A and B are shown apart, each in its own frame.
Chain A
Amino acid sequence: MSYIGIIITFVFINNFILTQFLGLCPFIGVSRKTDSAIGMGFAVIFVMSMASLATWAVYRLVLVPLNIEYLQTISFILIIAALVQLVEMVIIKISPPLYKALGIYLPLITTNCAVLGIALIAVRNDYNALESFVAGIAAGLGFLLAIVVMSTIRERLDREWVPKPFRGVPIAFITAGLMALAFMAFDKALLKNLLG
Chain B
Amino acid sequence: MMYSDFSKGVFKENPIFIILLGLCPTLAVSTQVVNALGMGAGVIFVLLGSEIFVSLLKDFIPERIRIPSFIVIIASFVTVVDLVMQAYAPSLSRNLGVFVQLIVVNCIILGRAEAFASKRKLGESLLDALGMGVGFTLGLLLISAIREVFGSGTITLFAVGSFDGVIRIPGLSSQPARVLALAPGALLVIGFLKALFNWLEMRREAREAWAVATPPLVPVAAAAAASAAGATAAPEVGTATDAELSAGSPAPAEGGAS
Contact = CB atoms under 8 A, between A and B. Distances in A.
A48 to B, nearest CB: 13
Interface in B176-199: 179, 182-188, 190-192, 194-196, 198-199
Given A23-B24, A70-B79, A180 B187 contact: yes
A133 B71 CA distance: 25
B71 A77 contact: yes
B257 A164 contact: yes
B75 interface: yes
B95 interface: no
A124 B98 contact: yes
Nearest to A111: B105
Interface in A168-183: 169-174, 176-178, 180-181, 183
Contacts of B183: 18-21, 180, 183-184
Given A21-B24, A25-B23, A165-B196, 11 more contacts: A18-B187, A19-B183, A20-B28, A73-B78, A74-B72, A77-B105, A111-B105, A116-B104, A121-B98, A124-B98, A165-B202
Interface residues of B, number: 44
Contacts of B82: 73
B173 interface: no
Interface in A70-90: 70-74, 77-78, 81
19 contacts: A21-B23, A21-B24, A21-B186, A22-B102, A24-B24, A25-B21, A25-B24, A70-B79, A70-B83, A74-B72, A77-B71, A78-B72, A113-B106, A164-B202, A166-B198, A169-B194, A173-B187, A181-B184, A184-B182
Nearest to A173: B191
Interface in A111-145: 111-113, 116-117, 120-121, 124
Contacts of B190: 173
B7 interface: no
A180 B183 CA distance: 7
Interface residues of A, number: 42
A172 B198 CA distance: 14
A24 B27 contact: yes
B76 interface: yes
Contacts of B76: 74
A116 B79 contact: no
B174 to A, nearest CB: 22
Nearest to B73: A74
Interface string B153-192: 0000000000000000000000000010011111110111
A181 B186 CA distance: 11
Nearest to B198: A165
A165 to B, nearest CB: 4
A165 B110 contact: no
A187 to B, nearest CB: 11
B257 A170 contact: no
Interface in A1-49: 18-25, 28
B151 interface: no
Contacts of A24: 23-24, 27
B75 A74 contact: yes
A124 B99 CA distance: 12
Contact of A178 (B26, B78, B104, B184): B184
B24 A174 contact: no
A78 B102 CA distance: 13
List the 8 closest pairs (A to B, CB-CB), nearest first.
Answer: A173-B191, A177-B187, A177-B188, A174-B191, A165-B199, A180-B184, A170-B195, A113-B24
A18 B182 CA distance: 11
A111 B257 CA distance: 34
B68 interface: yes
A21 B28 contact: yes
A15 to B, nearest CB: 9
B101 A21 contact: no
B133 interface: no
